[in-house]
Amino acid sequence: PSFFAAIPPAPADGILKLSVLSKADANPSKVDLGVGAYRTDDGQPWVLPVVQEAERRLASEPSANHEYLAVGGLPALTSGAQKLIFGADSPALAEGRVYTIQTISGTGANMVGAVFLKQFKPQRDAAIYISRPTWGNHRSLFQTAGHEVREYRYCNYESLDLDIDGMLADLRAAPPSQVVVLHACAHNPTGIDPTEAQWEAIADVMAERGHLPFFDCAYQGFATGDVDRDAFAIRLFAARGFELLVAESFAKNMGLYGERTGCLHVVVANAEQLPAVSSQLNRVSRATISTASAYGAKIAGTVLQDPALYREWLDNMQTMSARIKAMRAALRSRLEALHTPGDWSHVTSQIGMFSFTGLSTTQVAALRDQYHLYMTDDGRISVAGLNSHNVDYVARAIDAVVR
Ligand code: PLP
């Protein structure tokens, strides 16, 4: 008898399955629109020039070593990350009401927050509310940490825009003092973000119901090219006096995917609460990862602390977001030129890495089987996978399956 014999296989991860299928397809026309990583116009990964420069500097430091970081992480990273998220002039920072701990990228930040909240959530029976739809890992992550997970409406699947009434109604109908996961910008998978006025309305309901906001911020600066604009929602909630959590990832905006660089920020009401909260977060992190990864943190810390490198980074993010916006425009204009049935304006109104195309599962399968075009079953494409060499082909293939 085996201890392991009764274990059923875990459900397949859609994205990982897609990547296996795509890798196995040797057809030269193949286009991979599944991968959630930036690609150049030649379809290649991009090491940001500013990251290359930071790496050169790190390599030439005579005292460079591979020692452990402190449990809280690298101060150059955590202090720079705080200013990036909340703004250098943030009252919460000035008042000493923010603790930041380095994490294993955005996933680890979500997980440290999840484990911390399992023990110290606003109400013993509080659930975690996630948007429908959301990043494929949210449900599993919060459930793995032992939470009950519920959904609030988010996407209007007919019009492919925000179901703001449904969202507000669900947040209002939830019991008081729940934890609500909000995408700070560039909502994954839909690319649909609330407007500034809608964020105000969301904040009103959250305040009314006493919910705790847990922001997931995986695309700051990558979405619009403007780090301040992409932090609008977080800064609005902070300015309105909310206590909140922010999971921050440097995977996309610094191209540090595999280096696993990120932070969790927690804003508390009174600075006196910070020693207890920070020590508990350190304890959770120590118990799960001991200390975070050093190399990516040194790169990001170098970029965040050096004014010239910081400016160069802003430029590098402009390059990425501008290419993605150009590809959105190119895809939309080609579909419109082909008179492809349907309204394609959502391709350019959506933001960030992803576009929710509205293609059905059947159309997605036809695109994969007949045109070697890979996207997730929900019709989400990674716009970063489009380039000047394949966008015509992609538009013609979509046109063919939609007719
Ligand atoms: N949260 C969201 C919404 C994401 O889209 C992602 C990445 O796709 C992450 C978190 C976590 O990414 P990472 O752990 O690579 O930083």
Query: pLDDT for 350-394, tens place per residue?
Result: 999 999 999 999 999 999 999 999 999 999 999 999 999 999 999
Of ligand 1's atoms, which has the minimum distance to the CA of residue 249? 16
Of ligand 1's atoms, which has the minimum distance to the CA of residue 183? 3
Query: Residue 103's closest CA among 240, 297, 275?
Result: 297
Most distant pair of Cα atoms in the chain: their distance:
64
What residue's CA is closest to ligand 1, atom 13? 106
Q: Report residue 42's pLDDT band, with 50, 70 and 90 as the boundaries.
A: very high
Q: Which two tokens stand for residue 72?
A: 């809280």
Query: Residue 162's closest CA among 139, 143, 190?
Result: 190
Q: Which two tokens stand for residue 163?
A: 């179901």
Of ligand 1's atoms, which has the minimum distance to the CA of residue 104? 14
Of ligand 1's atoms, which has the minimum distance to the CA of residue 134? 3
Query: Residue 326's closest CA among 266, 386, 267, 271?
Result: 386
Other C-beta atoms within 10 Å of 274: how many?
A: 17
What residue's CA is closest to ligand 1, atom 1? 218
Distance 105 CA to ligand 1 centre (A): 8
* pLDDT at 342 exceeding the cut of 90: yes
Distance 247 CA to ligand 1 centre (A): 9
Q: What is the spatial distance between Cα 217 and Cα 75, in angstroms, rounded to a whole number?
A: 20
Residue type (1 letter), 269? A
Distance 219 CA to ligand 1 centre (A): 8
The one catalytic residue in 163, 170, 216, 306 is: 216
Tens digits of residue pLDDT in 314-329: 999 999 999 999 999 9
Distance 185 CA to ligand 1 centre (A): 12
Q: Please, which residues bridge with residue 180 across strands? A: 129, 213
* pLDDT at 250 exceeding the cut of 90: yes
Q: Report residue 286's pLDDT band, with 50, 70 and 90 as the boundaries.
A: very high
Complex ipTM: 0.99
Respond yes or no: is residue 252 known to be catalytic.
Answer: yes
Q: Report residue 81's pLDDT band, with 50, 70 and 90 as the boundaries.
A: very high
Is the CB of residue 101 less than 8 Å from the CB of residue 321? no
Other C-beta atoms within 10 Å of 258: how many?
A: 12
Is the CB of residue 99 less than 8 Å from the CB of residue 278? yes
What are the respective helix, strand and coil percentages of the chain, to the nearest 5?
45, 15, 40
Tens digits of residue pLDDT in 201-232: 999 999 999 999 999 999 999 999 999 999 99
CA–CA distances in Å: residue 351 to residues 225, 313, 364: 11, 20, 21
Q: Which two tokens stand for residue 402?
A: 């939609």
CA–CA distances in Å: residue 183 to residues 133, 154, 223, 278: 11, 11, 12, 24
* pLDDT at 44 exceeding the cut of 90: yes
User: 210: phi > 0 → left, psi -120 to 50 → alpha, else beta; which?
Assistant: left
Q: Report residue 96's pLDDT band, with 50, 70 and 90 as the boundaries.
A: very high
Q: What is the model's pLDDT at position 106? A: 98
Query: Residue 192's closest CA among 159, 147, 239?
Result: 159
Respond yes or no: is residue 135 known to be catalytic.
Answer: yes
Q: What is the spatial distance between Cα 332 and Cα 323, in angstroms, rounded to a whole number?
A: 14
Whether ligand 1 lies within 6 angstroms of the CB of 107 is answered as yes
* pLDDT at 22 exceeding the cut of 90: yes
Distance 114 CA to ligand 1 centre (A): 15
What residue's CA is closest to ligand 1, atom 4? 218
Whether ligand 1 lies within 6 angstroms of the CB of 103 is answered as no
Whether ligand 1 lies within 6 angstroms of the CB of 249 is answered as yes
Distance 107 CA to ligand 1 centre (A): 6
74 Cβ contact list (under 8 Å, min separation 6) = 102, 292, 294, 297, 298, 301
**Residues 310-314, mean pLDDT to the nearest whole number:** 98
Q: What is the spatial distance between Cα 56 and Cα 58, in angstroms, rounded to a whole number?
A: 5
Whether ligand 1 lies within 6 angstroms of the CB of 251 is answered as yes
* pLDDT at 14 exceeding the cut of 90: no
Whether ligand 1 lies within 6 angstroms of the CB of 105 is answered as yes
**What DSSP string runs through 36-63?**
-S---TTS-----HHHHHHHHHHHH-TT
What residue's CA is closest to ligand 1, atom 6? 218
The one catalytic residue in 135, 193, 230, 306 is: 135
Whether ligand 1 lies within 6 angstroms of the CB of 262 is answered as yes
Distance 401 CA to ligand 1 centre (A): 31
Phi, psi angle pair for 281, to nearest 5°? -65, -40
**Residues 250-255, mean pLDDT to the nearest whole number:** 98
Give strand ranges (E) for 202-304: 212-217, 244-249, 261-267
Q: What is the spatial distance between Cα 377 and Cα 182, in angstroms, rounded to a whole number?
A: 23
Respond yes or no: is residue 83 known to be catalytic.
Answer: no
Kindly report the average pLDDT of the chain as a whole number: 96
Q: Are strands 161-162 and 155-156 parallel, antiparallel or unpaired?
A: antiparallel
166 Cβ contact list (under 8 Å, min separation 6) = 152, 153, 154, 156
Of ligand 1's atoms, which has the minimum distance to the CA of residue 105? 16
Q: What is the spatial distance between Cα 200 and Cα 206, in angstroms, rounded to a whole number?
A: 10
Tens digits of residue pLDDT in 118-154: 999 878 789 999 999 999 999 999 999 999 999 999 9
